[in-house]
Chains A and B, each alone.
Chain A
């Protein structure tokens, strides 16, 4: 069975339409969405209405949470102060235009979805705000997979797609001095996998194309998909609707335009 997994649509209706057409062409039988339906982009209501009309199982992303709960994350949500200022403008704009029924729908979204040995989250099983970057320590990622009790963990939030295999892991715990006695615990994990779905509506892999992934449950094959679309339309709408022009600039280039986070694994506790 072919699953399509997408994330981080961010109010970009043009990109969503292009990805849905590509999913159709790929003959995927089921779609999952990892949240961040709104924020940054000019069409948050239309995106949510499309996701609802197709009854796509969806996790709540950090932007969805902020629209429901209000901005309550600490500065760790953004990689820099400039990014935080831009984020606040986007949040306030989205908060003003969002329809009440859309806000209610976002409030109903679960943190986690499951299908057999697969788990779907926005950021990580710990938090919608945690970035599981491809450079993250393999054992730390393995902990997220084991805590989710999954063989394959699908996440988003970083806006850059990847497929990471963690193989042949071995870990032991000894009590007392390091060279004394038998281990109290021994852990061996043959294979786990983490798949980042990238971003439909605000890609950051260096090109403006939308990204998502296809997962075949029979072969376990992961295909990272890159879908061209008319991003100029979205860029024009961003400017016409009064969102910061920098959002259009970076969308046209597929870049984040911000410094990297000092501690991307930091989990906001507010």
Chain B
């Protein structure tokens, strides 16, 4: 069993095609896409609709991608009034009125309906795969996120391995909550102190397929062996791509 875990296609069809081609040689059994399949930063001429169609209708010899929603999908939901904040203030702050217009025009109502039907995240074995974290879709975890926040997100995830995509970075970091003594006193008196230390747990940033033009990153993970690797695929729309 080997998983390919992607995030951040951001409307960059050429980048997604390059990753799909790279995957053919990797003997992958499951394909997870952790949100931000649409966006405005991935390509000069964004292909949001084309990416959605490519995800919805894979070729016969391809894996069916399992998709969860990300930050950009939430902005679509806001614009179309199907959830979130109707005025999309996060999108306005990031991309301004032109960005709002571009996203509105590049994702059809029907595609928004399909995106809305996708998952919040995936709990598989002892892993949680999600765009941000269980604290929210905008939660951007990196190795520099305060240790206690990383620890909290792992506890909330109820998982040993938390795969996330919001930062766009490919990283692996181990969080070790080694020691903590907790003593509770109630009206019935003090209870015996408890050591709440835990074994190390992992946060993995899965990279970004489409955010950086010409360079797609994604993650391969084998649950049985716990082996993790990051792939970088260089590509260009005109000249094809080359894995490194």
Which A residues fall within an 8 A CB radius of B?
Answer: 134, 137-140, 142-143, 146-147, 160-178, 184-187, 205, 211, 222, 224, 226, 265, 267, 269
Is the CB–CB distance between B186 and A162 below 8 Å?
Answer: yes
Using known A-B contacts A140-B156, A173-B174, A185-B147, determine if residue A134 contacts B186 with beta carbons closer than 8 Å.
Answer: yes
| Nearest CB of chain A from residue B98's CB, rounded to whole Å | 28
Which B residues fall within an 8 A CB radius of A?
Answer: 135-136, 143-144, 146-152, 155-156, 171-187, 194, 196-198, 200, 202
Using known A-B contacts A167-B181, A226-B187, determine if residue A146 contacts B136 with beta carbons closer than 8 Å.
Answer: no
| Nearest CB of chain A from residue B148's CB, rounded to whole Å | 5
| Nearest CB of chain A from residue B138's CB, rounded to whole Å | 11
Is the CB–CB distance between A169 and B184 below 8 Å?
Answer: no
Is the CB–CB distance between B180 and A138 below 8 Å?
Answer: yes
By a CB distance below 8 angstroms, the chain A residues around B146 are 146, 185, 187
Cross-chain pairs A/B with CB under 8 angstroms, 9 sampled: A137-B196, A138-B194, A139-B198, A143-B152, A167-B183, A170-B177, A173-B173, A175-B172, A178-B202
Question: Which of B177, B180, B183, B186 neighbours the largest number of chain A CB atoms within 10 Å of its CB?
Answer: B180
Q: Report the Cα distance A171→B155, complex, angstroms.
A: 13
Count: A-B pairs, CB below 8 Å: 117
| Nearest CB of chain A from residue B244's CB, rounded to whole Å | 19
Query: Per a CB cutoff under 8 Å, which of B152, B176, B184 touches A174?
Result: B176
- Extra inter-chain contacts (5) besides given A165-B181, A174-B176, CB under 8 Å: A143-B151, A163-B184, A171-B148, A178-B174, A224-B185
Determine the residue in chain A with the shortest Cβ distance to B151. Answer: A139
Is the CB–CB distance between A165 and B148 below 8 Å?
Answer: no
Is the CB–CB distance between A168 and B152 below 8 Å?
Answer: no
By a CB distance below 8 angstroms, the chain A residues around B148 are 139, 142-143, 146, 171, 187
Is the CB–CB distance between B181 and A166 below 8 Å?
Answer: yes
Is the CB–CB distance between A170 and B179 below 8 Å?
Answer: yes
Is the CB–CB distance between B155 and A140 below 8 Å?
Answer: yes
| Nearest CB of chain B from residue A179's CB, rounded to whole Å | 9
Is the CB–CB distance between B176 and A172 below 8 Å?
Answer: yes
Q: Report the Cα distance A147→B186, complex, angstroms.
A: 25
Is the CB–CB distance between A161 and B186 below 8 Å?
Answer: yes
By a CB distance below 8 angstroms, the chain A residues around B177 are 139, 169-171
By a CB distance below 8 angstroms, the chain B residues around A172 are 147, 175-176, 178
Is the CB–CB distance between A184 and B184 below 8 Å?
Answer: no
Is the CB–CB distance between A224 and B186 below 8 Å?
Answer: yes
Is the CB–CB distance between A178 and B200 below 8 Å?
Answer: yes
Q: Report the Cα distance A79→B146, complex, angstroms.
A: 32
Q: Report the Cα distance A174→B200, complex, angstroms.
A: 10
